């Protein structure tokens, strides 16, 4: 009985969303399009940490662009997934499809961001080394840093294109690098921005400062690698503990599916399975938080 009602509600939501997008497109006048093009040429600053701009920061840091470009499509697919979840497993399926896609998306974006950021930090000493060589050959600090960005490889070159655009539009180099560092929230980038600010305000030997920064970044990387090697057994134990219940359930489903299905059809067994899934999720999150502190 509730299936058709939910289907009607979802259809009305999608219809309302499509009407809203259509009206938004009609009302977008030529002046607004001109202002949008002009705004695209302004210095880019890191978005604030409100709800929507926080989502934009996540997408930008992961290299996925802005999320608003296909927002209507993703919302429609999410609504369809919730409808299918309800039709398949009623309220439990609806709840799973309501919570699972945002959680999977959040984990996927976090994984992309960490992988991209680690690659950028690996490339940063090469950029600084190129900058030092350019300084010693007689170039200014701005030209040396911008030249180092041009000689870098992706993803660092693409990410620091933000710095190049801001400098070309009149923002001084320390402020542009500081904005870039605050967007990615990484200590190595913040130290780079701080060194440029100190040199810009008080002067001094910029090449020596950058050489010390290269040495510091490489020492931090070496220390992090040693820590990962020393804590490898702990991390492996956590992975085994987290994946063991899932492996056991998969084994039962392959060898004796009637056992698990019989539990699911029984009210008491269904309650036990739901509690087990909740405890598994809580335990996995606890292990993940402990691994992050190691």
Same domain, 197 and 230: no
Domain assignment present for residue 95? The answer is no
* Final residue in a domain of this structure, among 221, 254, 277: 221
Same domain, 215 and 229: no
* Per-residue confidence (pLDDT) for residue 18, from 0 to 100: 61
- Higher-confidence residue of 8 and 186: namely 186
* Per-residue confidence (pLDDT) for residue 150, from 0 to 100: 86
Q: How far is CA 294 from CA 121, 197, 287, in A?
A: 20, 32, 11
54-108 confidence digits (pLDDT tens): 667 777 777 776 666 566 667 777 788 777 777 776 777 777 777 878 888 888 8
Q: Number of structural domains, the chain? A: 2
Domain assignment present for residue 56? The answer is no
Same domain, 198 and 142: yes
Domain assignment present for residue 91? The answer is no
Q: Is the pLDDT of residue 188 over 80?
A: yes
Domain assignment present for residue 65? The answer is no
Same domain, 123 and 217: yes
Same domain, 232 and 207: no
* Per-residue confidence (pLDDT) for residue 46, from 0 to 100: 47
- Higher-confidence residue of 14 and 164: namely 164
Domain assignment present for residue 13? The answer is no
Same domain, 145 and 183: yes
Residue numbers of the domain that contains 267: 224-293
* Per-residue confidence (pLDDT) for residue 42, from 0 to 100: 44
Domain assignment present for residue 262? The answer is yes
* Per-residue confidence (pLDDT) for residue 20, from 0 to 100: 63
Q: Provide DSSP, 151-195.
A: H--TTHHHHTHHHHHHHHTT--HHHHHHHHHHHHT-HHHHHHHHH
* Per-residue confidence (pLDDT) for residue 31, from 0 to 100: 46
* Final residue in a domain of this structure, among 221, 245, 274: 221
* Final residue in a domain of this structure, among 163, 195, 221: 221
Q: How far is CA 259 from CA 136, 190, 194, 248, 252, in A?
A: 73, 56, 62, 12, 7
Task: Give residue 21's Cα distance to chain centre.
Answer: 27
Domain assignment present for residue 279? The answer is yes
Same domain, 193 and 143: yes
Q: What is the CATH number of the domain that holds 130?
A: 1.20.81
Same domain, 286 and 235: yes
pLDDT bracket for residue 48 (50, 70, 90): very low
* Per-residue confidence (pLDDT) for residue 54, from 0 to 100: 66
* Per-residue confidence (pLDDT) for residue 68, from 0 to 100: 60
* Cβ contact 186:121 at 8 Å: yes
Domain assignment present for residue 62? The answer is no
pLDDT bracket for residue 27 (50, 70, 90): low
ω into 125 cis (within 30 of 0): no
- Higher-confidence residue of 233 and 38: namely 233
Which of 1-10, 66-75, 169-178 holds the top average pLDDT?
169-178
203-262 confidence digits (pLDDT tens): 778 888 888 888 888 888 888 788 778 877 777 888 888 888 888 888 888 888 787 777
Same domain, 136 and 209: yes
Same domain, 207 and 228: no
């Amino acid at each position: 009985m509730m299936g058709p009602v939910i289907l009607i509600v979802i259809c009305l939501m999608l219809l309302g969303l499509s009407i809203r997008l259509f009206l938004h497109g009609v009302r977008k006048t030529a002046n607004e399009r001109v202002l949008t093009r002009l705004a695209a040429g302004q210095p880019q600053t890191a978005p604030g940490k409100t709800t929507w701009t926080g989502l934009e920061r996540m997408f930008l840091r992961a290299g996925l662009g802005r999320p608003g470009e296909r927002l209507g499509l993703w919302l429609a697919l999410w609504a369809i997934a919730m409808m299918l979840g309800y039709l398949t497993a009623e309220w439990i399926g609806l709840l799973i499809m309501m919570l699972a896609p945002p959680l999977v998306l959040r984990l996927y974006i976090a994984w992309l961001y960490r992988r991209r950021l680690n690659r950028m930090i690996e490339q940063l000493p090469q950029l600084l080394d190129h900058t030092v060589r350019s300084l010693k050959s007689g170039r200014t600090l701005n030209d040396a840093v911008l030249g180092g960005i041009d000689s870098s490889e992706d993803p660092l070159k693409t990410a620091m294109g933000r710095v190049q655009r801001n400098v070309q539009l009149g923002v001084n180099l320390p402020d542009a690098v500081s904005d870039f560092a605050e967007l990615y929230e990484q200590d190595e980038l913040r130290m780079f921005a701080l060194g440029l600010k100190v040199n810009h305000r008080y002067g001094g030997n910029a090449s020596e400062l950058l050489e010390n920064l290269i040495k510091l970044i490489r020492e931090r990387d070496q220390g992090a690698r040693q820590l990962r090697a020393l804590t490898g057994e702990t991390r492996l134990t956590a992975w085994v503990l987290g994946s063991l219940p899932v492996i056991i359930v998969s084994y039962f489903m392959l060898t004796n599916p009637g056992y698990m299905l019989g539990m699911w059809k029984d009210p008491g067994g269904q309650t036990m399975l739901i509690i087990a899934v909740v405890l598994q999720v809580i335990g996995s999150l606890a292990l993940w938080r402990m691994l992050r502190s190691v």
